[in-house]
Structure 1
Amino acid sequence: MIPLANKTINSDLIDLLNNLQSKIDSEVLFAEKVKTAQSLWKSKGGSAGKKSFEKIKEELYSLCVYEGICNYCEQNEANDIEHIYPKSFFPNYTFKWTNYLLVCKQCNTAFKLDECYCINDDDSVAKVSRGTEPPNQNIAIINPRLEDPNKYMLLNLKSFKFEISTGLTPAEISKAKYTLEILHLDIRDTLLVARRSALRHYYDMLERLCKILNSASLDELKTNLSPAEERFDYSKSLSEIKNDVLKSYKAYISTYQHPSVWYSIKLVESKVTPNWIKLFEKIPDALNW
C-alpha cells in the first residue's frame, strides 16, 4: 500500500454525495441509518445518480497505484468501490468521497467485507459485530486516501512481507496489524511471488536504462532497447533520444505495479545492496521517482 494523491471532484458530484448522505443522517436510530445507507447505495438515488457514480468510479480509477490495479494488494484488477469505513457499521461514511477506494473483488469481498475493528481510548481493540453500532469512529485500518501507509509499515524485500514500523503508538501498531490481517497482505502466496517478480523487473528496467544512457551510438542504443519499447524519434540527436527514453522509463517505473516494492528499493536497497547502490549512483534522480 502507498499513499494516494489528494484529488477533488467537481461540485455536482459533491452535491450528489451530500444530498444522499443527508438522507441517512436524518434518521435517528442506528439500525435505520444502516438500512437507509444500504438502500441508497444500491439505488444511488436513481438513474442520474448511477450515471454520476460512473464518473466517481472514473475518478477513483485515476487514483489507482497502477493502471486499474487494486490499491490494497497492488496486484489484481480493481472493479469495486470500497468503503474503507464499512457502510454497515458507519452509515455516516456511506457517501463520503474520501471513504472510497477502488479495489479488487478479492480484497473487498473475500477478505475485508464487513470485518471491522475499532481502537478504544485505552488502546484496546474491539471487534464490531454486524448489527452493532461501533463504540467509536477510530477504525483499525489504514486509509491510504488520508494517511501514509509507509508510516505504518515497510515491505521487507527478503521475505516480501510487510513489517510494522518501529516508533509507533499502540493505536498505530493496531491499525497496521489489523490492516495486514484483514486484507491477508502477508499470507497470500500469489502476492509474495508477484512482489519478488516486481523486484526483478524493477532491477532489469533500471539496469537496461543505465545501458541505454551509456550508449555511444544510435545503433548501440537501439540494441539496448527491448522489443516492447515504445517507438522513439530517431531523427533527433542521440542526447535528445536518451532524454526521451529517460522520461519514458521514469513514467513507467514510477507508476508500475507493486509500488510498495519500488518504495522499499529506494528507501533501503539503494543504501545497503551493492548492485542497487551502483544503479542509483548512475541514475540518482531515480530515487525521486
Structure 2
Amino acid sequence: MPQAALEGLNQYQDEVDGAADYAARVATAKSAFSNRNRRTNAIFRDVRAALAKMAGDAVRCAYCEDSAADEVEHVKPKDLYPQSVFRWPNYVYACGPCNGRKRNKFSVIDAGGTMVDITRARGAPVVAPVEGLPALIDPRSEDPMQFFDMDLQGTFVVLEALDLNPVDEARATFTIELLGLNRDLLLTTRRDAYLGYRARLSEYSARAEQGAEEAELDAIRSSLLRSPHPTVWEEMKRQAHLIEELRMLFAAVPAAIEWRHFPNAFAY
C-alpha cells in the first residue's frame, strides 16, 4: 500500500474514533465507509489495487477462492468493530456471494473458552461486543492451512486439521460453517482445480523431458499459477508423499514444490 493511502485511511479512522460514544462510532463507521469506498476515491483505488495484487493473478475471493474478488471486505465487521473500519490489516478482497453470506455475523471465544455469538440482531441496542478471541480465522494474520486439511482423494471437503487444541478446532469449525466452505459448488470446482493442476504439471514434466524451451515451460508454469483454488495446489504439495500419482509428478518436477501463486497468499 502506498504510504499516502495508509495515511489517508488513518485520517478516516480518526474521524470515526472521534465520535461521542460507541453507538455514534458505529453509525459514523458505516456511513463513512459507504461514502469513501468508491472507485472515484483515490485512497480506495489504492486499497483495491493492493488487495487485487495480494489475491494473485486470477484475483480470486479470499474466502471461496472460486469467484472473482471485487469487494473490500472487513474481516472484523464494521457494525461491531468501528475502531477497525479503516484499518488496512482488516481488509481482504472478496466476492459478493461470500461477503453477503458473512455480513456482520461474528463470534468470539471468551476467557473461559466459550464461543459467544456477538452478531447484533436487527433493532438490538448498539453496545460494544464482549471481548474475546475472534472465532473467524484471520487470513491477514494467520495461516489457514495450519487450521484446515482438504480431502484430495474423494470429497474435496475442507476439514479441521488433526491435533488442534480445542480452541483452534472450534475456530476452524466456525470458519468452515460461517463461510460455507463445503457448499456443493466449491466441492466441484476444487475437484476440477485438482485435475487441472495435475494435468498442467504432467504437461510441464512431459515437455521438459522432450527438451522444450524455457519460454514454453514458463508459460505452462504461469498458467498453472493463474488457476483458481490456490489452496488445492498447496494441499497437493503438502500431501504429495501420501498420494502416489502426486509423489511421482513432483519427483519428476521437484522445483514445483516451490511454486506459489503469490508470495503472501491468504486464502482458505
TM-score by length of 1: 0.83
Which residue in the other structure is 1:140 paired with? 135
Per-residue Cα deviation, 1:228-263 (whole angstroms, up to 9, x for no partner): xxxxxxxxxx5xx1x223333333323421011111
Alignment pair present for 1:208 and 2:203: yes
Which residue in the other structure is 1:124 paired with? 114
Amino acid at match of 1:121: A
Which residue in the other structure is 2:223 paired with? 252
Which residue in the other structure is 1:94 paired with? 85
Which residue in the other structure is 1:112 paired with? 102
Do the aligned partners of 1:199 and 1:261 also contact (CA within 8 Å) in 2? yes
Amino acid at match of 2:86: F
Which residue in the other structure is 2:181 paired with? 185
Distance 1:205 1:255, change over 3 A: same
Q: Distance in 2 between matches of 1:123 and 1:196?
A: 36
Matches within 5 A, 1:2-21: 9-21=1-13
C-alpha deviation, 1:137, in angstroms: 5.0
Candidates 163, 176, 182, aligned match of 2:172: 176
Do the aligned partners of 1:207 and 1:279 also contact (CA within 8 Å) in 2? yes
Alignment pair present for 1:262 and 2:233: yes
Alignment pair present for 1:166 and 2:145: no
C-alpha deviation, 1:128, in angstroms: 0.9
Alignment pair present for 1:275 and 2:266: no
Do the aligned partners of 2:110 and 2:132 also contact (CA within 8 Å) in 1? no
Q: Distance in 1 between matches of 2:38 and 2:192?
A: 44
What percent of counterpart residues are identical? 27
C-alpha deviation, 1:57, in angstroms: 0.6
Per-residue Cα deviation, 1:22-41 (whole angstroms, up to 9, x for no partner): 11112242111100101111
Q: Distance in 2 between matches of 1:75 and 1:244?
A: 28
Name structure 2 gaps, 5 residues minimum.
121-125, 260-268
Do the aligned partners of 1:65 and 1:71 also contact (CA within 8 Å) in 2? no
Tell me the C-alpha RMSD between the 2 structures.
1.8
Do the aligned partners of 1:17 and 1:95 also contact (CA within 8 Å) in 2? yes
Do the aligned partners of 2:19 and 2:25 also contact (CA within 8 Å) in 1? yes
Distance 1:128 1:75, change over 3 A: same
TM-score by length of 2: 0.89
Q: How many residues align?
A: 253
Do the aligned partners of 1:206 and 1:279 also contact (CA within 8 Å) in 2? yes
Which residue in the other structure is 1:232 paired with? none
Candidates 17, 34, 44, aligned match of 1:53: 44
Distance 1:47 1:210, change over 3 A: closer
Do the aligned partners of 1:24 and 1:33 also contact (CA within 8 Å) in 2? yes
Amino acid at match of 1:32: A
